[in-house]
Amino acid sequence: MSEKTWKEVPMGGLILEAGNAAEYLTGDWRTERPIFHEDKCKQCLFCWICCPDTSMIIKDKKVIGIDYDYCKGCGICMEVCPFDAIEMVQEGGDE
């Protein structure tokens, strides 16, 4: 929680910066972490379509990894992947 005083916050609870939800990193909500195995991936992009947090990182129309800043570890990508290219592992280990 930020420590801004009543003299500093915008009046009326207004949020003056558009899209500032991006500043809130939801990655620490995760209890399980998806691991992307590029070797098994056929680039069907099911995971990209289904990810509720747009956390599949795409470059040149190809999945190249996962954005752990926002991924909440829901596991949908793993569920929808027809090729077992995504694996869920427990968080809390030392990487």
Residues that bind another protein (CB under 8 A): 1-2, 4-6, 9, 11-19
Q: Give least dist CB 3 to another protein, A.
A: 10
Rounded distance, CA 90 to CA 15, Å?
36
C-beta closer to another protein: residue 13 or 93: 13
- Cα–Cα distance between 90 and 59 in angstroms, integer? 27
CB 73 → another protein: shortest distance, Å? 24
Give the Cα separation of 89 and 83 in Å (integer). 17
Mapped onto helix, strand or coil, the DSSP state of residue 35 is strand
Least Å distance, CB 11 to another protein, is: 5
Element (H, E) at 52: none
Q: Is 2 or 90 the residue whose CB approaches another protein more closely?
A: 2
